[in-house]
Every structure is written in C-alpha cells, then in structure tokens.
Amino acid sequence: MNVRHFFLLVLISISFSCSKEKVILEKEVDVEESIGWMFSDSLSVDFSISDTNRLYAMRLQLNHTPDFNFENVYTRIHTLFPDGKLSSQLLSLALTNETGAWAGQCNKTVCKVEIALQEQIIFPAKGNYKITIAQFMRTDTLSGIGNIRFLLIDTGERKYPTK
C-alpha cells in the first residue's frame, strides 16, 4: 500500500467517525420466519420530543431472504401527534436498486436494507409521539421477512442555528 492510499483510508475513516448523527431510539421486531409478517402485525414506537428546533431522521432497517417474492413492500404508517391528531400514509419501501438487484447488503441467507422513511424532520410540537408501521400488501402474510428495525436519529443539526 502506498502513502496516498494510506492517507485516503485515514481521511475516509475520519469522515465516518465525525458524523454528528446519534441514534436516540431503536426498536426491533423479529418476524417469525415460518409464519411471515402478518397484516395484523405492526411495529409501534413511542417517543418524546423536547426540542422542536432539532432535525431528525427516521429510518427502517429490514431483513429479508434472497428469494423474497417482491421488489418492494407497501406499508401503512400511522403517526399520533401530541395533540391527538392521527395521520396515515401509504408508503412503498423499495428493496431493489435501479438495476433490479437487491438494495443493501445481501448474502446467501439474508439481505439487509436500510430505508430512509424521512430525513431532516422537524417535529412541530413538544410531547409524545407514536408511530405504527404495518405491512399493507395484497397478501395477508408476507413470507421472507426476518426482522424490522425502526431508528430515530438526531442528525446533530438544527432548523435555526443557535448563537
């Protein structure tokens, strides 16, 4: 390895270690592979927001088998806000890239993909939030899903800079 390659590797590792992102909430649900992700199953997370000036990110990590039958998974996401308002949206989670290959990391037994649900989120109010994610496919049971992990990340950035 020459000196240039060494310094390039050092710079890359420093840039990754300097990330301001911090996982503030992580919740995982294991799906019984012999059964699958049933329509009635959902992943629910409760969290409290105390700083409405921070920027957050929500990501979903999903494990599936390499012979999974779908290129995407439709989900229904419900958000309960501190004021009691309930919002729902249908979201398609892409499991393949532009070429049709599995996104993320894949080996002979499992594929792992991280999907950005929302980046640079500003929560409108302080208080308790609840997010529920359920599969919303045309089949009651979705075989081939191993587990689902929800991440709430503090990006380290603020909507308005502080002095």
Provide the pairing of β-strand 145-158 with 54-64. antiparallel
In the structure encoding, which two tokens stand for residue 154, read together?
A: 């503090």
- Whether 49 has a pLDDT exceeding 80, the answer reads yes
Is residue 40 very low, low, confident or very high in pLDDT (cuts 50, 70, 90)? confident
The pLDDT of residue 62 is 93
pLDDT digits (tens, 9 = 90+) for 8-31: 444 444 444 456 889 989 998 878
pLDDT of the residue at 88: 96
| pLDDT band at residue 5 using 50, 70 and 90 as cut-offs | very low
pLDDT tens per residue across span 83-100: 999 999 999 999 999 999
What are the tens digits of pLDDT across the range 70-82? 999 999 999 999 9
What is the percent of the chain with per-residue pLDDT over 90, rounded to a whole number? 63
- Rounded to an integer, the average pLDDT of 102-110 is 93
Whether 21 and 119 have beta carbons less than 8 Å apart is answered as: no
Instruction: Give kind and range of the element (H or E) at residue 93.
Output: strand 86-94
**Edge-to-edge strand list for the sheet holding 72-80:** 42-49, 127-135, 72-80, 86-94
Structure tokens at 18: 């300097």
Please state which CATH class domain 21-158 belongs to: mainly beta
Q: What is residue 52's predicted lDDT score, i.e. its pLDDT? A: 92
CA dihedral (137, 67, 37, 140) in degrees, to 10, reads: 40
> Model's pTM, two decimal places?
0.79
